[in-house]
Amino acid sequence: DAGITQSPRHKVTETGTPVTLRCHQTENHRYMYWYRQDPGHGLRLIHYSYGVKDTDKGEVSDGYSVSRSKTEDFLLTLESATSSQTSVYFCAITPGRTSSYNEQFFGPGTRLTVL
């Protein structure tokens, strides 16, 4: 399972509140990603990171920020949650040189509901 955990696994919050989702990996992988998955849209990239303090925006980054102060943790923050951010959030890693294909491995997901 590439040693990826996400917390919390489920969260219900109210519009306007800040929310932080955590992705933690135990195998020192350099590349990490945050996606959201919604019916009719598939998986869409929010932000990604190529290393500590090296992050960049993906396709749907508005309303989200990220931080990576340690290799093992990639945090996704919704500064002021909106109902449109109700979704399932997946973290992913790419093993890089240890993989033949550079495929991405996904964490178990966080189901976020914004009321």
Partner 1 sequence: GQNIDQPTEMTATEGAIVQINCTYQTSGFNGLFWYQQHAGEAPTFLSYNVLDGLEEKGRFSSFLSRSKGYSYLLLKELQMKDSASYLCAVNTGFQKLVFGTGTRLLVSP
Specify the pairing of strand 87-94 against strand 105-106: antiparallel
- For 6, 19, 81, 107, the CA distances from 30, given in Å and listed in that order, are 17, 24, 28, 15
- Minimum distance, C-beta of residue 48 to partner 1, in the bound complex (Å): 7
- Minimum distance, C-beta of residue 93 to partner 1, in the bound complex (Å): 10
**Number of residues lying near partner 1 (CB under 8 A):** 22
- Minimum distance, C-beta of residue 78 to partner 1, in the bound complex (Å): 21
Residue 87, burial from CB neighbour count under 10 angstroms (0-12, 13-18, 19+): buried
Q: Binding residue for partner 1 (CB under 8 A) from 21, 60, 94, 114?
A: 94
Paired with 26 in beta bridges are none
- Which 45-74 residues touch partner 1, going by CB under 8 A? 45, 48, 50, 58-59
- Which residue has tokens 């449109």? 84
Residue 44 binding partner 1, by CB under 8 A: yes
Beta carbon nearer to partner 1, 19 or 90: 90
Q: In the complex, which residues of this chain contact partner 1 (CB under 8 A)? A: 31, 40-45, 48, 50, 58-59, 90, 94, 101-109
